[in-house]
Homo-oligomer: A and B are copies of this chain.
């Protein structure tokens, strides 16, 4: 089981420690080594259709570069930008944060909601959980850095708590920022409920593809 995971970050960032954050989480959970790379010239990442259209060819080019040194690729974004094209363009398996989390949540077949920081549930979540899947965004959170404050974590936990109180049994995260703050663990320990983390889900899939 000595697979190497090639992690594609869909934003440009100067700090390699930041870039490798998802890789560290997957190593902690599944013992997989990884190489993390950013797409170039998109410091604001993907935030609308135009920025996604701009990113997809870069994602594919990065995947093609990474495949020589990796066994599995991980497209680390809950919106799965360019996933279908990337899978066609490389000859190793590709897991993606959105599809991984959404497909696990769908398999559980219990009342489900999606929690993220965007305006609505990203496409893969609507695909797997239905167009009208319940979607919630923590109050006061508009980007992932807001989550890093104590207030941001409280807001995320309160948002989840409210969903469970309404009868939701499974929450799927459509934001990898929740992975960084360990929100699924907090939900499990403090609320006694099930949350599906997008980075952990992709790590789980990747962990089953090893040699």
- State which size class the interface on A falls in: 20 to 34
CB distance from A86 to the nearest CB of B (A): 10
| Listed stretches A12-20, A50-58, A92-100; interface member | A92-100
Of residues A103, A196, A201, A211, which shows the largest number of chain B Cβ atoms within 10 Å of its Cβ? A211
**Does A201 lie within 8 Å of B93, measured CB to CB?**
no
Residue of B nearest to A103 (CB): B204
Residue of B nearest to A207 (CB): B103
Q: How far is the CA of A65 from the CA of B123 in the complex (A)?
A: 38
Contacts of A68 in B (CB 8 A): none
Residue A107 lies at the interface, judged by CB distance under 8 Å to chain B = yes
Contacts of A201 in B (CB 8 A): 107
Contact pattern, A 168-211, Cβ under 8 Å of B = 1, otherwise 0 = 01000000000000001100100010101000110011011111
User: Given that A95-B208, A205-B208, A211-B87 are known contacts, is A194 also in contact with B100, CB under 8 Å in the complex?
Assistant: no
Contact pattern, A 77-115, Cβ under 8 Å of B = 1, otherwise 0 = 000000010011000010110011001100111100000
Contacts of A1 in B (CB 8 A): 84
Residue of B nearest to A72 (CB): B93
Contacts of A188 in B (CB 8 A): 109-110
Contacts of A211 in B (CB 8 A): 87-88
- The listed residue (B100, B169, B196, B207) touching A208 by CB distance below 8 A is B100
Q: How far is the CA of A109 from the CA of B211 in the complex (A)?
A: 26
CB distance from A51 to the nearest CB of B (A): 25
User: Given that A93-B209, A209-B209 are known contacts, is A204 also in contact with B87, CB under 8 Å in the complex?
Assistant: no
**Does B194 lie within 8 Å of A103, measured CB to CB?**
no
Q: How far is the CA of A156 from the CA of B67 in the complex (A)?
A: 45
Q: How far is the CA of A100 from the CA of B207 in the complex (A)?
A: 10
Known: A93-B93, A109-B184, A109-B188. 6 other contacts (CB 8 A): A1-B84, A96-B208, A107-B200, A109-B194, A110-B192, A169-B194
